[in-house]
């Protein structure tokens, strides 16, 4: 039995204010983003009425990965989430590489959704024009940054509200849509190939991403050994059930038309509830992305905080506000980066790396869970226990390898560039990190 690194220095000054429901709401909030409002059409284009198969596969994959996250998260309670888990298990070098991949993936995802949010606001209020959309984007991101600087309690409460607000339109669609389903639209007329299922699952997996982001503020979670596992399973179980129901209802309402629809859930709602239903879903998608941006603005800056804390980036990023006890410098820096990426769209060239980066991070976390368990690492309470904890990492790694097989060369190249940049940064800061005096 060995102890995980105890929260000290900058981490010790953070307030542990996030409980089970707050963390679960954050996970649902960043998981149910804009993707579920668009992805049903893409999955249907690949698999047709057999699309629920991809949801079952993704749910199974995420269940295995979630077990690993719950196990590792109950043993390591430092800020950084997966970055902290892998670093504790394998040391600073591997941990930093994993953290760099995680930060890049989350930053570009947040930038992309922020851009989609601005476009959606522009569609709802055409009079804003291009400059008005950009202004709305900047104001929204700055407002969320300011709210995060003032403390996590208010933000987690707001995330809970956003979570409920974004789920209501989806729940309304599934309930009312269930009564208007045409059964012939759900008939599977052809068995999809394994390659089609794999690629569709890889695409759909993005709709399930979020747990890795929501766990980054682990240094601000109360009783992490109990809170993290409970919140993860509560959130991911609810998300999986909702997603499958949404896909079945959309397929049942639209049939073959689902595959080519740019706003599939809005069109499905129009069939089930008329024009008012369509408007409800459009507004819901805006609220959903609004909540996603809120949740990610809470999570992603904590990665910069962790990098600053560990000496990979300037130590000023690990500064904690003397009054509100939040990583205010990291929040400001992350917000500025996201605003630049979202406004100028340069994130698009690296967005293709998101698939590879997040799957690699997941694989690293699975291995970290094995290593932490093997070493008996324990920090933050009695570690998480559940049947299958020992075999889940290996099953998850097998499925992740299957999904990675479908990545395109450009996606591998982009991920490789990120890894090389991270290695160079690690080497460049090695001397200064060795010279640092522990906080």
Query: DSSP assignment of 308-363, as one string?
Result: HHTTSS-GGGG---TTT-S-HHHHHHHHHHHHHHHHH-TTHHHHTHHHHHHHHHHH
Q: Is residue 365 part of a domain?
A: yes
* Residues 140, 134: Cα–Cα separation, whole Å: 10
**Nearest of 63, 65, 89, 64 to residue 76 by alpha carbon:** 89
User: Tens digits of per-residue pLDDT, 26-41?
Assistant: 777 777 776 788 788 8
Asked if residue 297 is part of any domain, the answer here is yes
Per the structure, the complete domain to which residue 24 belongs is given by: 19-430
Lookup: tokens for 296: 């990610």
pLDDT at 17 (0 to 100) = 62
Average pLDDT for 203-212 = 74
Classify residue 256: in a domain, yes or no: yes
Task: Flag whether 7 is in a domain.
Answer: no
pLDDT higher than 60, residue 2? no
Are 83 and 306 within 8 A, CB to CB? yes
The pLDDT of residue 431 is above 90: no
Residue 190, in any domain of the structure: yes
pLDDT digits (tens, 9 = 90+) for 98-127: 888 888 888 888 887 788 777 777 777 878
Give pLDDT, residue 437. Answer: 54
Is 189 inside any structural domain?
Answer: yes
Residue-wise pLDDT tens digits, 220-235: 667 766 777 778 778 8
56: tokens are: 């079952």
Mean pLDDT of the region 153-168: 70
pTM of the model: 0.74
Q: What is the CATH number of the domain that holds 207?
A: 1.20.1740.10
Instruction: Kindly state whether residue 158 falls inside one of the protein's structural domains.
Output: yes
For the chain, what is the domain count?
1
Q: What is the mean pLDDT of residues 394-409?
A: 86
Backbone phi, psi, residue 215, to 5°? -90, -5
pLDDT at 161 over 80: no
Note whether residue 188 is domain-resident.
Answer: yes
More confident of the two residues 67 and 369: 369
- Check: CB of residue 7 under 8 Å from CB of residue 309: no
- 3-class DSSP state for residue 217? coil
């Amino acid at each position: 039995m060995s102890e995980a690194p105890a929260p000290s220095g900058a981490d010790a000054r953070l307030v542990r204010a996030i409980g089970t429901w707050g963390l679960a709401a954050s996970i649902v909030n960043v998981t149910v983003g804009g993707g579920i409002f668009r992805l049903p059409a893409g999955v249907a284009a690949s698999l047709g009425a057999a699309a629920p198969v991809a949801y079952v596969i993704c749910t199974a994959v995420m269940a295995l990965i979630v077990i690993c996250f719950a196990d590792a998260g109950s043993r390591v309670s430092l800020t950084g989430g997966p970055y902290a888990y892998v670093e504790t298990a394998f040391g600073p070098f591997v941990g930093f590489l994993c953290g760099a991949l995680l930060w890049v993936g989350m930053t570009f995802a947040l930038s992309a959704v922020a851009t989609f949010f601005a476009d959606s606001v522009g569609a709802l209020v055409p009079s804003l024009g291009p400059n008005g959309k950009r202004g709305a984007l900047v104001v929204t991101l700055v407002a969320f940054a300011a709210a995060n600087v003032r403390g996590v309690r208010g933000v987690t409460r707001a995330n809970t509200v956003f979570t409920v607000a974004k789920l209501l339109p989806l729940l309304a669609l599934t309930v009312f849509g269930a009564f208007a389903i045409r059964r012939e639209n759900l008939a599977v007329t052809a068995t999809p190939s394994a390659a089609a299922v794999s690629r569709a699952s890889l695409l759909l997996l993005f709709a399930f991403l979020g747990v890795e982001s929501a766990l980054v503020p682990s240094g601000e979670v109360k009783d992490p050994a109990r809170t993290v596992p409970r919140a993860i399973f509560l959130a991911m179980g609810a998300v999986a059930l909702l997603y499958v129901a949404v896909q079945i209802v959309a397929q049942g309402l639209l049939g073959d038309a689902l595959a080519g629809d740019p706003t599939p859930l809005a069109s499905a709602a129009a069939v089930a509830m008329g024009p008012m239903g369509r408007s409800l879903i459009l507004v819901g998608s805006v609220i959903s992305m609004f909540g996603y941006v809120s949740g990610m603005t809470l999570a992603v800056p904590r990665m910069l905080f962790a990098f600053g804390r560990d000496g990979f980036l300037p130590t000023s990023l690990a500064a904690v506000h003397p009054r509100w006890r939040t990583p205010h410098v990291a929040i400001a820096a992350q917000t500025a980066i996201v605003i630049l990426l979202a406004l100028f769209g340069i994130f698009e060239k690296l967005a293709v790396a998101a698939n590879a980066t997040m799957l690699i991070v997941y694989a690293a976390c699975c291995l970290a869970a094995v290593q932490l368990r093997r070493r008996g690492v324990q920090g933050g309470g009695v570690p998480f226990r559940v049947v299958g904890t020992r075999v889940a990492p290996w099953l998850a790694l097998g499925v992740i390898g299957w999904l990675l097989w479908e990545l395109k060369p450009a996606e591998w190249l982009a991920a490789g560039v990120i890894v090389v940049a991270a290695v160079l940064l690690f080497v460049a800061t090695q001397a200064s990190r060795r010279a640092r005096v522990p906080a």
